[in-house]
Amino acid sequence: MIDYTSLEALAEAALQGGVSIGELVLQDQAGQMEKRPEDLMEQMDGRLAVMEHSARAGSAPDIRSTSGLTGGDAFRMGAYAAKGGALSGDFCARAMATALAVAECNASMGRIVASPTAGSCGILPGALLTMMDMRGASREKTCLGLMTAGGVGLVLALQATISGAEGGCQAECGSAAAMAAAALVEMAGGNPDMAVQAAAMAIKNSMGLVCDPVAGLVEVPCIKRNAGAVMCAVAAADMALAGIRSVIPADEVIAAMREVGESLPCALRETAQGGLAATPTAQALAATLFEGTGGEGR
């Protein structure tokens, strides 16, 4: 049984076993749940199918959230990516379009996979579905990538938090970026240590990110942060695959993330009282959305 309290220990266990983190997590979870690995892979494939569906649904040109605040940006990004020549490159442009699509599907009350949360639901599929579409990753490899992401996410949840209300958006989009970065590394042929280095760098590049949803809705700035975070994941994965290491060990990075989250004032932890939510435009939008309701809803 794996003790999910350390990314470094997770990588070491995988290296000693001659397997990827994804394979290690699959074996461990199958043992704990008393199920065959094949059955768990089938369940994970079902979650992958939901991600694919939400990416398609969110890419529609006419999709709009219930509030009317968001919708259509994934379509715009997808059209831009399809033309080629994006400054960030074709892979990143497609990943951003997918991340936006899944997040917009969520905002329009569509079905998504919280990975690890609804507010950060576009980041992991943005990275992994693009690996399938543009790099030919098989469904099996992608499901193992999801297992890798799950193992990393469990360590983050146990050692810090994946809740914006507890730790700011670094705990949601930052955690998702770390999960996606580790999965990308292993899907690209990197070893478990590289995957952990990528996760550490993704967290470092998200450190201190506040949670400030306009009108208390997981739309602005959350959806566009999904696009930014998938870029962070790709950058961290590429650095790790290049042999770059995090100077601060991964587990110390997680501890620092927890301390930063605990230090954030209440106004910057999903209360819609600070940050972008407190700007004049955001306040006007909130007043319009909730006019006559007796207050700002959540």
Please write the tens of the pLDDT for every residue from 234-284.
Answer: 999 999 999 999 999 999 999 999 999 999 999 999 999 999 999 999 999
Residue 298: pLDDT band with limits 50, 70, 90: very low
Whether the full predicted model's pTM is greater than 0.85, yes or no, is yes
The model's confidence at residue 232, banded by pLDDT at 50, 70 and 90, is very high
Backbone angles phi, psi at 211, to 5 degrees: -110, 105
pLDDT in tens, 70-119: 999 999 999 999 999 999 999 999 999 999 999 999 999 999 999 999 99
Residues 98/126, Cβ–Cβ less than 8 Å: yes
pLDDT for 296 equals 46
- What structural domains does the chain harbor? 7-289 (1.10.4100)
pLDDT attached to residue 156: 98
Angle formed by the axes of helices 139-159 and 173-187, nearest 10° = 140
Report the C-alpha gap between 228 and 166 in whole angstroms: 21
pLDDT score for 1: 82
Q: How confident is the model at residue 5 (pLDDT cuts 50, 70, 90)?
A: very high
Tell me the C-alpha distance between 109 and 76, whole Å.
Answer: 20
Q: What pLDDT sits at residue 293?
A: 63
Which pLDDT score, from 0 to 100, does residue 3 have?
Answer: 83
pLDDT at 291: 83
